[in-house]
Structures are given as structure tokens and as C-alpha cells.
Structure 1
């Protein structure tokens, strides 16, 4: 398996310190969001092939690969000018993704409010339609560069349910659209008891579109989901492995919302669930 973390779950630091820190943790892949890992604010025109290659080289020298280039912007921002700036920045990440040694640029689907706060307005048909329009625009650009738009569903977003993801992939029937699947992101304090049904349905309906797994765990406190170290919570990882991960050899598994002190134990937990990659690599030639 390819197992890593979001680089910004570690403190901001220099590039050389970051890759040294990451490589010391026995992981081999990362999700990198430039503005979250370094003291910089990416804007349109900031990224160049030279910068991307410089970063990719630093990672590869330490045996690390950038599996997802994070560009988490609000693709349905209520201010049309700000929305377009967000889409333009994402397109720039798509243009240079290959220079980072990466083929996927990832985002969530945003919020109808300017401030990212919970609102049920995200669940309206208008919000969904606006999201589809933005995703279509990004996927068209991704097709030009032979890279992938990775969309991450989430319960507070327009893309918040198994059905809404199915509708999106049907509305944008392109191989350049893939899903970054975080199983916890489909669960709430109201529905987590039905997680086997929900997650099995997701995998059955659009598991073929899942390119990356985000791995985290949860407990329920005060009627809210709270993140927990992997293997210490309630998520049915056995189901995820049996129905999805074991059928996708070497899929990138990015540990999400993880504390540095939990990385080693969480890595061991994931590895304990199985390693289909070793089976593939040992097949006779």
C-alpha cells in the first residue's frame, strides 16, 4: 500500500525540513497544499515549472511522492469574481500538476456562504447545480493537461451524500473527474449507526471513481462526531478494505486530520488490515 499524510498536518516549516520530517515517519506519499505547508500565499501566476520541479525533486530525493496537490478553494463562492479567481487558481494547479510529479489536484466543493460555516443552504438544488457547473469547468481544463480533478465529498457541502456523488459523476462523465473518498465525511451523529449500508452503497455506486482514500476515525461525543486516532474509533475499516481497498492495489491512502504523535500507530493499524500490494508484486513474471 501507499500510505501517507497531509503534509499540513505537520507544522509549517521549510521545504528541506518538511521532507526530512516526513521521510523519518516511514510513509511514502503525501498530499501537499502549498499555502498550508509553507509560509506563502499561492496566487495566480505564482507557480512555475521551475518551482514545481524544485519541490518535486526535494520530495523524490527522500523517497516521497506527491499523490495529491491540494488546492482547497470555494468553487461555489457567492461572489462571482471571487469564485472565478478560485477556479483560475485551481486551473493553474492543474497546469503544473505534472511538474510536481502528481496527476491529481484535489478540492472539496465549497460553501454558498462567503465564510466556511455550516448551512443547510448547501443542500439545495441550486447549490448542487452551481457546484456541477464549476466542476465541469475544472474538468474541461484537466482534460487539456491530461490530469485529474479530485473532488472530496463532505457532509456539510453540496456534495454531501452517496446520491449527490452519483449525480455528479453522471453529470460530468469524464475520466478526468475522480473522487477523493473519506468515508467519515459521509457520516453524522444521526446516521453513523447505518455506516455499513451507507459505505457499501457508496462503494457499489461509484467506487470505480475513487482514486485516493482519506483515512481517519471517529467517536461520538455530545451528539457530534469527533476525530479519533485510526483504529481507536467506530469506522468499519474492515468493510472499507474488503469492499474497496483490497480491489485497488497500491491505492494512495492519506491519513487525514492526524496528530504527529499518532502517525506511527495509525500507520501500523492500516498495515495490519492487509497489504494487497505485496501479493501483486510477488506474482510470477
Structure 2
């Protein structure tokens, strides 16, 4: 059998696992490609369950990458956010907010939680994938689950409500209606901005409604009202979001964590290294 015949139908699932582990599309694609090369070299006639073998391979490769990636993220300039995936159907409810919670976990906790709770593998298979016994995997997943539970919104909004709030947020923040913006923000809202040292962005998170209002007021004063061009509305990793072309020519995604009708978190990605896929998605709406 051609190696691709068994591998290609599993590629989307393998990419989802690798991306959820790593948070970077290019790294996930590299991991899956390496798994494909190893699949070529495998005695496939002796393999009873190709999916189990390939998930195991992708997980272990991702763990190797994640260990070195965590060192790089410690040296990262400013806040690190996962690469934004726009309007993708991921087949799970792990939003950007929850992925940020996973960043606080160890690589093994993250793997155990994702494989069991998100991708539905039993602990026997998880144990084989991460080379630990099932009891240890249960403990790892349990610790991870507690972190994720804390980050999961208690009062989530519907898709329609999310779109409506994102549209209202864009209009208020870019049109200078600070009173309307204030009404949209939770008292303890947090702004995360990822420029990666490549573009202007806040180096540290901005906490609280008042500081957030001052941030947008300053941007309006500095760059004038309506300083951005809206090029796409939709979702980023499950959160209501929009894509803009800013006055300085920077492409940017803004995703909103919403709970009980208010914005509790704002995730802004400006690092151009993380926006190649987004640029391709909206290229027809960008100036030539």
C-alpha cells in the first residue's frame, strides 16, 4: 500500500493535535511532515492501527519541539500568543483563551489533556503516546483539567452574540466612542498584545477597564479616528474576532474573550511571522 493512502486521511487530525500542542502552524506542519517521513520508513505491514502509531509519533515529536519552544518563548519579546487560526473548524471547543491556559502546563500535562479530553483517546493509548503509565496519565490530565476549568467562561455567549459584540467593539474602539467602549468592557478586562519584537505592541499585559480605555484613547489620539481598515470579521481559535489593516501597514488580528455579555480579554496579534496564513486569507481585500 502506498504510504499516503493511510496517512493522508489522518493528516487533518494529526495537524490539529500538533497545532494544539505547539500553537504555531509552521511547527505543526513540520512535525506532521516528519511523521510522514517516518511512516515511509515503517514496516507498515506489521502495523495493526495506523492512526494510533501516527498519533503517537506526532505527539512525541511535538513534545520534543515543545521543550525547545518553551525556552524560546522565555526569550520572546513581549507577550507570546498562539498563531491565530481564522474561521477554522477544529472539531473541538478549545478556544484561544483555553490554549493560553495550557501554556502554563508542563508539556506532558498538555499532551495528556489534549489527547484524552480533547481528542478522545483512552488512557491506555495516551500512555503509549507519551511513554507513561495510565495512572500517571490520569493524574497529568486531572491537573491540566483544573487549569482549563478555571479559564473556561462561566457564562459563554452564543455565536451570534459574539459576532454582535465584536462588531460593536470594533466600531467603538476605532470610532472614538469611549463611552460605548466602556460599556462593553468588564472591570477586570486584560489586553494581550503580541508583536514579537517585530512591530509595536505592549510588552506586558494591560489590566483593568480604566487602563484599557486609556490605551485606546491614546491610539485614537495618536493615529486619528478610523485609523484602521476592517478586512475580515469572524472567529480566531473559536473567539469572536476581526482582522484589520492598521494605518502603519501592519496586519492585525483582534480576538475577544467574552463572558456574560462583556469583553474580559482582548488578544491582539501583530507579529508578521504569525500572520502569513491570515494574509493569504484576506489578500484580496488588501491594497496591492
The TM tier, using the shorter chain, reads under 0.3
Q: TM-score, normalised by structure 1?
A: 0.27
Structure number with bigger Rg:
2
More helix as a share of residues: 2
